[in-house]
Amino acid sequence: MSKKSQKKSSKTPSGTTAAKKKAPKTRATTQTKSAKTQRTPASKSTGSIAKAGSHGAASKQLNSSKSAPASAAKQILIEGQKAPAFRLPRDGGGAVTLSDYAGRKLVLFFYPRADTPGCTREAIDFTRLADAFTAAETAVIGISADSLKAQEKFRDKHSLGIPLISDEKHEMLEAYGAWGEKSMYGKSFLGILRTTVLIGSDGKVARIWRNVRVDGHADQVLEAATSL
């Protein structure tokens, strides 16, 4: 073999070796890039999870902060407490306030809806006993969330002889514990709880009837007012 052939053959193995040495570098570079590519989405997804977690925590805090006033509003009125003040429009015009009845006994009956069967019987019963309540130095007022127009129509239709108050914003209803959760056909909702409150001449709550059953109720309230 000539010297030139030996030189060429010696270069060929060395060239192959060089190629083999360069190959791992290429693969390493590729692996590095792929690793970076994999790390980048991971960091983004981690950020997204962190944001989602913080958003969920913020929502819970907002919910709990919103529920705080609701729980405070649910404080139940009890006998012996001073009756909450109110000022609301009544049928026929004008407004009714608690101070209008200072020094007198007062019955407040809260009913779910004007001109429905139970509410109609209750209002008619209180109207029937109006003179007896007057003799017992006790005034009677009916309250619901109906509009004034609905209250006046209710009054005229059944010849009711007691003032009817409209509390469309539920302020008085909530203050007297007559607004809360109800259920019907397996569904829960907020509404008026049929309730009656007897206030003494001292301005304090003397008796409270909750979940009232209409039949005979007005007579029971008259008896309690007479004995007060």
Catalytic residue numbers, as ranges:
119
Distance CA 5, CA 170 (A): 108
Residue 205 is classified by DSSP as: E
Distance CA 173, CA 182 (A): 14
State the Rg of the chain over Cα: 40
Q: What is the DSSP annotation of 97-156?
A: EGGGGTTSEEEEEE-SSTTSHHHHHHHHHHHHTHHHHHHTTEEEEEEES--HHHHHHHHH
Distance CA 157, CA 146 (A): 15
Helices vs strands, H then E, count in the chain: 6, 9
Q: Which residue type, as a one-letter code, is found at position 129?
A: L
